Structure 1
Amino acid sequence: MSDHGSDTSDSKAALAPHIRLNSGQHDPSQTVDGYAPLTSRTFPRPLTPQGPDMPTPIGAQGISPYGASAAPESSEFLLPPRLRPTQGAGVSDSDTPRSPDRWSAGRSSISSISRESTFPLDPFQDSRAPSQNSNEDHDVNTQTVSEKFNIMPTDGLLLFPEDVEKDDYMHNPDPMDKDRDCDIWNRRGVMNLGGLLVLTIGILVLFIGYPLITWLSNVLQPKAGVCHPADTLCLDVGDRPLLSNVRQSLIDPDTPDEALTKKNANGKEMKLVFSDEFNVPGRTFFAEDDPFFEAVDLWYGVTADKEWYDPDAVTTADGTLQLRFDHFENHELEYRSGMVQSWNKLCFKGGRLEASMSLPGDGHVEGFWPGFWAMGNLGRPGYAATTDGMWPYSYHDGCDAGITPNQSATDGLNWLPGMRLPGCACDGSDHPTPGKARSAPEIDVIEGSTAPLYGDSGPFVGSASQSLQTAPFDLWYMPDYDFAAVYDDRVTEINSYRGGVYQQAMSALTNLNHRWYNGSQYQTYSMEYTPGAEGEITWFVGPEKTWTIDGRAIGPNGNIGQRMIPLEPMSLVMNMGMADNFAPQNHTIREFMPALLRFDYVRIYQDPDDESVTCDPPGYETTKYIEQHRKAYDNANYTNWDDAGYHWPKNSYMHECPSN
């Protein structure tokens, strides 16, 4: 035994193989007698994940690759293991003694196999399996191993039955599995089926059932009134459909084709530039409800009216605009009515303003004050601060006594505070268009009243007052009627009322048919005008001209200059009032309440060569000035310009300042 061990030691020293490390994974510093123990080395396995430990194939001590305590799962193997070739058929190790040199050479390559082990060599259990060439002079390295053995993986190759992916049960069902029975009559099936059924029914009810039920309920059930008949504080104005008031153009689509043109008083054809037929029922006219009109919410204090103007009193029905006058106490007033304006929304300059109307009540009973008129846009009707020093001026651009307070008269002819925006305002003053006289004149298409048919002793009939309001005033409020004309003195006469301390009124009265009242029949009332000093105004009842006034009738007179046929852009007004200073009330007037002032349509015609449907015509702009003084234009409680926090601009005539 000692001799054999000595020979082995000498052979080891003389024939030890030369090992080249080209894998970069062997650490020579950890070797003992030139060999690293397997248990101290671990190698990563980049090709497949490491599996759990498995028991060794032999009871005492199995082959432990890479120094692991146990062999990894078979999914780590790339090829089936091949047994080491035997030394000869039918020859065992006990029959053929091992050469010491051969064994020592094998140990230099197979550090993981103990000397006592007889298990066949497996290149897959050790990455450095011995070369099949037993020549001791042959160097052993990882490169020679890779050349002799196929260690590259094969795509899609499963080597062992246990080498399966974790989700293979989804792709390779077990053919031995028994098909499941289709049985919905269990707890889970009933819940699934019931949920689908409830969801389906809900969708059908939401998108089919509910709309159908709503439609049937509206058709089958008669609509009850919103208000109880005994509830006097409830006002039923009917249905108000949303967005039905939106207009796409200035001309109403319901306007008949034959109304698109009309000849003026001089025979020239005019073009329709605006119309409203009021055929859509249930329209409302609260602020911002309508693109062209707005119903005001105020007391018209400048004429000491007896009613409160309320937007609730205005609506459309039966193809008409209706202003309702009620004996309805509110705001400490006895009556309630409506006023509709197009202020700062719809303006026009020149042309023909026309409306088809049916007046309220009865022609022989006085007390109602229906009106259809136009005012310069710089004054807002009912907002006294905006008309302070503006209404009813319509003056030339020069400066004289006519712009001063009281017209510089001491005899009580004029109580006006003077003209706020004359043409001679000082440079840099608060003026919309310096160098031009600006104001808020008024033209009345009709103010309804009553008058005796044959003088003071005759029966009363309906009467239409058609007038121009202006300032400053002629002496005794008397214009030059040589430049006025009445076309049929049997039905029309110059009004004996010519004005007062607040306005000069040039007016004519025309008798009306009693059938043109209370919705029985409708009649058209209109006026045509040409702006300027040489312009004129002509009024109509029906197709007939009633009277005309020329600009020369209000020319220079004494210490005042030319009054103008209005040059301002005009907004239109429709209202139904009651005031003692216009018409005293007959004691039977309440028999006609509630009374309705009806408008079948409103139309504006203009010369095709001179169209102007804007609140900002060149040289007479208004909207910017209004926006800069919203406090006065939005609050009807201010009664003069100073109360609203603004100051009158100074002028060169009174204050000796430079002016354009």
Structure 2
Amino acid sequence: MASLAISASSISAIKDKKYTRPPHSINDLGTDYTRYFKPFSDGTKTPIRSWRASISERWPQAKLALSTPPPRVPSTTLFLTPVAPDTGASQGSSTLYDVEKNLSFVDDRLVAPYEEKGMASWPLVCDQEEPDDEMHMPRDDDDIRFRPMIRDHFTKDSVVSTIGLTLMMSGLMFIFVGLPVLSAVGLIDYNSAYGMPLSMFPYYWIPHTWATVNNRQYPLLVNMRKGLIDPDTPKTVKTRKGEYGDDYILVFSDEFNENGRSFYEGDDPYFFAPNIWYGATQDLEWYDADAVTTSQGSLQIRLEEFFNHDLKFKSGMLNSWNQLCFKGGIFEVSVSLPGPAGVQGLWPGAWTMGNLGRPGYLSTTDGLWPYTYQACDAGITPNQSSPDGLSHLPGQRLPSCTCPGEDHPTPGTGRGAPEIDIIEAGAFSGYPGPQGLPIATQSYQVAPFDINYYPNYNFTAFPDLTLSGLNTYTGGPFQQAISATTVLNKDWYDNKQYQRFSFEYVPGQGKEAYILWKVGDQTMFTMDGRAIGANGNIQARQISEEPMSLILNLGFSNSWTYIDWKNLVFPTTMHVDYVRWYQKKSEKMVTCDPPGFETTEYIEKHAKAYQNLNYTSGAERRVTNANQLWDQTGYAWPKHRLNSEC
């Protein structure tokens, strides 16, 4: 760039504002920026004056004149600095020295001719480029030539900066987010050497010990069981043949392969273990949910000496009441019974009961267990209208002939809670040897009763009398049992071996309805509906048409058998490998509300009876106060045609 010296008169003219355009830019101080070459415009189109125009042509008002050219001043630097002449003009003269005509100056335009003689040798010429031309003279292909490549983002500086930024952000997130959250939930207790520990600050909520069920970590939802069939059930057992060639499919299974399952009420979608005393049979143990768990691929129910609720023993019961019910099909369970084998006293069981009766809640079974009756005659009356002590039952609470408007889940249909036992294990003490013979009963419990509790055995069958035969116990004042006694193997105890026990049944009445019991693949006992047909002053009873819930339990009671205290061993455990239920494909009925035999709405309306287990004081009922248990709940005993005028 060149600097120009301006005379005092020019300065005076500027001060007097003689110029038509005031000096508002650097151009007014004598530096010409308009002469830079613009490669994308031409002289005719550009709004700027021609780049070839001289300073005098651009601003004619400021054209300088000098009569006598001054001598050439040698330059001591790269920049040539014009000076005022020594003679020929005095300060304030009207004629000025014309620096444009008489003094060489550096023309740094790109198209300026190269000056050499008597001029500076450094300025740019038309065929030269300065190193910074690319910065202020962009070209049309710069966006392609200078586009950043992927490798340009992975320079050493970029990588180090990214790592540093990540560490810094992680540290800030931990300090301002992670540390407060971890401290709030109690996972860490941050203690500052200069402040109060976080544990001393008030928390928004402090969990109480009673609010913690267990320390178990439950699986994610994506890993949870999604259906009634356990994913661990082998595909080869998902179908089977019935006794008479019918095709059955698996509708529910539980393999109990997941360790540490909890069966407190609400913990499991299918089963729960109640916290009760089973007063119906005056058991010697308390049923506690912590006595039921899963381990090593099996369900385990443990009976042990443990003082609990004024009882010396603790055990467990598992049932599916009002959660999982079935009507018709095959119920199979694989069990290793609690030992010692052949010792009298223990009462392990696998059985089913109508869902209208809740196991252990005696007010709910009052007048329902074990009724399965549709007629309206002496069979529904207290004591069965028999003065000889045949029955001590209060009568059927929900008969088919209740008066209009009375409390009944399905008016016009007799309802009850019959019982089908897969197995109730015991021992026969008359067997020679130090221990007795292990046996099991497989039964159907019904009411009202046949005369002398004697059904029509013409419609029962025992295929192999060496293994199973008629049970000599046929009933008592509270139940009639159509039952078989089956001999068991001592290896099926104490987790040595497992054996399959099952029953297959078709609900209804007459020849087409039946129940048959099996041990393994061998049929032990069969009966059809004719075995409990009309007899004496009562009509036919039915093979259960109620939705049935499942019960697994281990107890003992003096009402069951003699207890051989000397040879019993505690603790002892009942192991269940699996539970499976099959039904005909065209007759699937996995519900507690089958058509015509609904239960859940009735249970909900009578929650006081179904949720309060303390209504049990009438276990030893008196005939003169037969309705005592249900009356305790505050609900009325429904009237029917035989005890009222309706």
- Deviation, structure 1 residue 358: 0.3
CA separation of 1:201 and 1:267: change in aligned 2, threshold 3 A: closer
Contact 1:453 1:459 in 2 (8 A): no
Distance 1:288 1:598 in 2: 23
Other-structure match for 1:517: 493
Cα distance in 2, alignment partners of residues 196 and 631 from structure 1? 59
Q: 1:595 aligns with which of 572, 581, 585?
A: 572
Q: SS at the partner of 2:518?
A: strand
* One of 273, 297, 318 as aligned partner of 1:295: 273
TM-score where L is the length of structure 2: 0.65
Query: Using the alignment, how far apart are the partners of 1:521 and 1:268 within structure 2?
Result: 30
Structure 1 segments unaligned to the other structure (5+ residues): 1-78, 82-191, 215-236
Q: Tell me if structure 2 keeps the 8 A contact 1:365–1:588.
A: no
Match of 2:541 among 552, 563, 584: 563
Cα distance, 1:199 vs. partner? 3.2
Equivalent residue letter for 1:421: L
**Alignment partners' CA distance in 2, 1:586 and 1:544:** 31
Aligned to 1:270: 248
1:646 to 626, 629, 635: 635
Percent identical: 53
Q: How far does residue 247 in structure 1 lie from its aligned partner after superposition? A: 2.8
Maintained 8 Å contact 2:343/2:435: no
Cα pair distance change 1:243/1:422, threshold 3 Å: farther
For 1:89-110, what per-residue CA distance to the aligned partner results, in whole angstroms no more than 9, with x for missing partners?
Answer: xxxxxxxxxxxxxxxxxxxxxx
Aligned to 2:107: none
TM-score (norm: length of structure 1): 0.64
**How big is the shift at 1:308?**
0.2
Tell me the alpha carbon deviations over residues 445-472 of structure 1, each in whole angstroms, 9 at most, x when there is no partner. Answer: 0001012576x99961211110000011
Q: Please state how far the C-alpha of 1:656 moved relative to its aligned partner.
A: 2.6
Tell me the residue number matched to 1:260.
238
AA aligned to 2:327 is: K
Aligned-partner SS, 1:655: coil
Q: Check conservation: 1:283, 1:316, Cα contact below 8 A.
A: yes
Mapped to 2, the partners of 1:246 and 1:441 lie a distance apart of 34
Partner of 1:529: 505
- Mapped to 2, the partners of 1:200 and 1:308 lie a distance apart of 53
Matched ranges for 1:61-460 at <5 A? 199=172, 202=175, 240-242=216-218, 246-396=224-374, 398-452=375-429, 460=436
How far apart are the structure 2 equivalents of 1:198 and 1:239?
A: 31
Distance 2:169 2:243 in 1: 77
Contact 2:344 / 2:429 at 8 angstroms: preserved in 1? Answer: no
The amino acid across from 1:655 in the alignment is S
2:448 corresponds to 1:472: yes
CA distance in 2, matches of 1:459, 1:329: 28
Change in 2 beyond 3 A, CA 1:607/1:206: same
Deviation at 1:260, TM superposition (A): 0.3
CA offset at residue 366 of structure 1? 1.4
Deviation at 1:206, TM superposition (A): 6.9
**Runs of at least 4 residues off by over 2 Å:** 194-207, 237-247, 456-459, 587-590
- Letter paired with 2:639: K
* Amino acid aligned to 2:436: F
Distance 1:205 1:411, change over 3 A: closer
Question: For 1:296-327, what per-residue CA distance to the aligned partner results, in whole angstroms no more than 9, with x for missing partners?
Answer: 00000010000000001011000101111011
Q: Which amino acid aligns with 1:423?
A: S
**8 Å CA contact retained: 1:239, 1:282:** no
In structure 2, do the counterparts of structure 1 residues 483 and 471 end up closer, same or farther at CA, with 3 Å as the change threshold? same
Determine the C-alpha separation between the residues in 2 that align with 1:196 and 1:426.
77
CA distance in 2, matches of 1:442, 1:287: 23
* 1:609 CA displacement: 1.4
Q: Is the 8 A contact 2:225 2:231 kept in 1?
A: no
Q: CA deviation at 1:269?
A: 1.7
- 584, 607, 610: which one aligns with 1:607: 584
CA distance in 1, matches of 2:397, 2:541: 16
- Aligned pairs (5 A) from 1:42-57: none
**C-alpha RMSD of the superposition:** 2.8
CA-CA distance at 1:588 after TM superposition: 3.0
How far apart in 1 are the matches of 2:397 and 2:352? 20
Shift of 1:589: 4.2
Give the C-alpha shift of residue 243 in structure 1: 5.0
Kindly provide the amino acid, as one letter, of the partner of residue 648 in structure 1. Answer: W
Indicate yes or no: 2:468 matched with 1:492. yes
